[in-house]
Structures are given as structure tokens and as C-alpha cells.
Homo-oligomer: A and B are copies of this chain.
Amino acid sequence: MPDLTPLWLTLRIASFATAIAFVFAVGFAWLTARFSFWGRDFLDAILTLPLVMPPTVLGYYLIVVWGRNGWLGSWLNAHFGISLMFTWQGAVVAATVVSFPLLFKSARAAFEGVSTEYEQAARILGDTELQVFFRITLPLAVRGLLAGTMLAFARAMGDFGATLMVAGNIEGKTQTAAMAVFDAVQAGDYTLANTLVAIMSVVCVTILVMTNKLANRGRAGR
């Protein structure tokens, strides 16, 4: 049985990253789905871009921004004395960036699929825009959002390049499961690699299946 620390770390990082990506993605998705403004398609494309970058390259740009001497990172360091480099929080930032586009795109499509009639009905029944969003739009878009969340979670779990670049590969501290697998494959230790992959797959499949089940249980008719 191999060391499972990387797995727990991965789950923690992926959970945080998905949660953060969710908030931003839902916000942007709502904006682009419900309002028509100049440059909307452009914004949409820009927000999808992180997907096109090879993760390692993305990681490189992340360091440029968030690194100790990066332009956001140095500010963080000067004012709060914190640095994201080589910490699991840094890994969260990296994983958030790589998984964001998945959630954003899914959420936008999901919101666009919600008939505006229900939203209008809610407005007449006295809801503010915020209430309409939380009580009608969000629950009615739940399938697409869930699919997006699962994609984002899986992507965050599997991210390797960007996370590695920002968080380093410090055993017991920032070494995620993906890195451990990578190391094993690189080192030619295929038994270990296969075991790790098997464990990761089982964990991931379990999570995905359970999420699906929960979602189906909580789902309304139609």
C-alpha cells in the first residue's frame, strides 16, 4: 500500500479549487448568459483561454503573477507577508485557474437553457434579482452546473503541470497524487504507478458516482 498523503492533499486542493472556481464561474456565466453587452463573446473566449495553454506554460505565467517577485505575489508578500509559492494554497490557485473554464462554459450553457419565463414569474411574485437567481435560475440549471463542477473537480484533481509549477513537488506538503503518479511513471516504477492510478481512479469514480446519485435524488420532476 503506497503512501496516501498525496491523495488526501489532492482531494483537499481539488475541493477548494472547485469551490472557488464555482463562485467565479457562476458569476461570469450569469453575466454573459443574461446580459448582452459589447465584447461579451470576447470575454467568453478570454475566460476559456486557460484551457488552451499547456499547463506548464500556464504555471509559468502563474509564477510571473503570483511568485514571490511576481507583480501580485510581491504585493501580497510586502503587505501580508504571505507567499503562495510552494504551499498547498498555491496549488489551489493553480488548480482553480485550470479548472475555471470548464465550469464557466458549462454554467453559461446551463443558464442559457433556463427559460426566462420562470424568472419573470418569480419577479412578479416579489423576488429581487438576487433571489430570482438563487431560487430559480440556479436550481433549474443544476444539471449543467453539476456536470461542469464534476469536470472541474476531475480536472483539478488531475492537474499536474500548473500545480507543480506553483506549488513545487514537496513530498508530504505539496505533492499531489498526479505528481506522485508522474514520478512513478518517470522512474519506470510501473507497479507503483498502476497502483496509484488504480487508487485515484477508484476514489474519483466513487466521488463522481456519488455526486450523480445525490443529484438525482435531490432532483425535481421533469
Chain A residues within 8 Å of B, Cβ to Cβ: 41-42, 44-46, 48-49, 51-57, 60-61, 101-102, 105-106, 108-110, 112-113, 115, 143-144, 146-148, 150-151, 154-155, 157-161, 178-179, 181-182, 185, 193, 197, 200-201, 204-205, 208-209, 212-213, 222
- Would A109 and B143 count as touching, CB distance under 8 A? yes
Known A52-B200, A146-B109; judge A161-B160 contact (CB<8 A): yes
The residue from B41, B148, B182, B205 contacting A42, defined by CB atoms under 8 A apart: B205
Q: How far is the CB of A55 from chain B (nearest CB, A)?
A: 7
Q: How far is the CB of A51 from chain B (nearest CB, A)?
A: 4
CA of A170 to CA of B51 in the docked complex: distance in angstroms?
23
- Would A42 and B209 count as touching, CB distance under 8 A? yes
For A154, the chain B residues whose CB sits under 8 A away are 48-49, 51-52, 101
Count copies of this chain in the complex.
Answer: 2
Q: How far is the CB of A173 from chain B (nearest CB, A)?
A: 19
Closest to A52 in B: B158
Q: How far is the CB of A208 from chain B (nearest CB, A)?
A: 4
- Would A155 and B57 count as touching, CB distance under 8 A? no
Apart from A54-B159, A106-B148, list 4 A-B contacts with CB within 8 A.
A49-B154, A53-B181, A101-B154, A106-B151
- Would A208 and B44 count as touching, CB distance under 8 A? yes
- Would B108 and A201 count as touching, CB distance under 8 A? no
CA of A155 to CA of B52 in the docked complex: distance in angstroms?
6
Closest 10 CB pairs of A and B: A54-B160, A45-B208, A109-B147, A51-B154, A54-B178, A52-B158, A45-B205, A109-B144, A41-B212, A105-B147
CA of A17 to CA of B91 in the docked complex: distance in angstroms?
29
For A110, the chain B residues whose CB sits under 8 A away are 109, 113, 144
